Structure 1
Amino acid sequence: MHKKLQQAFKRLLKPLFVLFLVFTLALSHADGALAASGGRIGGGSFRMPSSGRGYSSPRTYAPPGGGYYPAPYPVYPGGGFGFPFVVPVFGFGGGLFGLLIFLAIAGFLVQSFRRAASGGDEVGYSSNPTVSISRLQVGLLANARELQQELNYIAETADTNSPEGRVEVLQEASLALLRHPEYWVYAGGGTQQARLNAAESTFNRLVLAERSKFSEETLSNVNNQLKEATRKQALPSAEQLDNPTRLITEGPGEYIIVTLLAATLGKFEIPQINNADDLRQALRQIGSIPGEQLLAFEVLWTPQAENDVLTSEDVLAQYPELKLV
């Protein structure tokens, strides 16, 4: 009797084990379906530009004989009151010496009032200014295949180490999206602000959140480090196994998602996006950020690899905040 129970248990265990394997494979395929390949372009640093308003070289004057020499006294921007040259100034005596002392004090007071009025936010009057971090996302129909090709070309040729190159990439990516309004389906975006000493970690969190949605990065150019990888072939889903013709007839996917991230000095904000006009305005704004304001940027898109798939279910799962435009 005991042996019969063991044999019956073994016969039951085998189909249970097979069922467990099938269930595990099904879950792994479902997880894989929620990720596609991605491309990435980025660069920059969170350091104050050397040419910013926070630094100014000593002023010079031109003597009668030509040439330029440092001014013989410190010059303080923002001050200046037109008192007569020989009138005594508040107990400092008359003449040039008293006037220079008064101008120094006046310049110091003017700058102090400016700092107090702006709360230290004005770029150039604070060593820890405000940084605006903007994110703009656009979901397009996958028929916009030329957009993927444009982004691939930008990634392969961009100079992401220079301020001019970074501005050009952001402009070209914005223009590529502006040229394809007929494919716009979804959009979303927003801006958050942080001080310079905390902005880098905020920016990196947003970048990592977007990169984590990719199954792998098959093309990237970050700080002029160009990397290309061959797309790893994922296991077909159960639906594709039931209908093998889908593996051949299906195109590159239903949607393309493009994300633009920009960290800028000072207060900058893209509009709330509720329709195509709002999206057009936001693309123009983020594409026109000047080089002296742009600290860092990222352009990310998925799918990147040819014949990769990003379905409507993937978009709903990974980008639930996007709105129809």
Structure 2
Amino acid sequence: MEKLSEPSVEAGAEAQQRCFRVIANARAGTVLETGAENFVRRIEAAFADEGCRAEIELLPPRQLQERLRAAIGDKTVIPVIAGGDGTVNGALPVLLECPRPVGILPLGTVNVLGRDLGLLGTIEERIAAICQGEPVAMDLGSINGRPFHSISGMGFFSLMAREREHARRRFPFSRTIAFAFAATRSILFTRPIRIEMEIGGDQRQVEADAVLVTVNEFDGADWRRSRLDGGRLEVHILDTGGLLSRAKAALSMLTGSWRTSRNLVSLTAEAVTLTRRDKRRGHVTFDGEVERRAGSLEYRLLPAALQVIAARRAEI
């Protein structure tokens, strides 16, 4: 595997000469919990412990893209985006402009992408993994041209994402209570959606509680991918089965048994188009972020679209 290049450093130079520029979301949960000044000191110290330098820019979300683009344009630094899955999602249009590997420092609650990159443990352990990591090329997906890195969907799963955000603010002291609250409201208030689906050249009409599209295959209780470069999208359709079906789906997501659910159908493709038959605007999730969208959703695979620094191979 190709080793991570060191920008503007002559061959044989020591690792401590590398400089990372960390563009961090000031509203990330970890930042708010730690406090801005303590967070910056902790990040600087963690990079220093690995023999690296770090320039930290702690910014509100609206300024992240501009400063990230500036970091990418500075070839003397290795750019790092720091935040949760939603922050990384918002940064993807800029990250795709970078011709060299970029770092991702997970600071969110779920950190789906961070886990898949092998960036686990404490902040210090994640930073050590970035400093010691190697570049991998990973697939992305797109929805009507907008990129996403892991998961998108509508229906039950979209409502779960919205309710989870509300629950996290209401119950910041317990993720278990927040999940239970979000799951209960989603089970009670989900309404079936009617979808026209075009996948693999076939067309079908679907009535479902949820449709979820993932970049490559997820599995298990912690929703992990064995491959980041599998070269396909996976489409999951949760059949309409009422409250009991949705309750079982929520429980199976928590226990990791969701793939064996009798109410779930999974298909693979490089492209899929979903169109709501009622033509109304509906909520759609993008890596945990939620928007209202109308019209057809054209999902496409972007193979090996992004080079990222990882603590694991693209295939394990």
TM-score by length of 1: 0.22
Higher strand content, 1 or 2: 2
Higher helix content, 1 or 2: 1
Q: RCO higher in 1 or 2 (8 Å CA, sep ≥ 6)?
A: 1
- Report which of the two structures shows the higher radius of gyration computed on alpha carbons: 1
TM-score by length of 2: 0.23
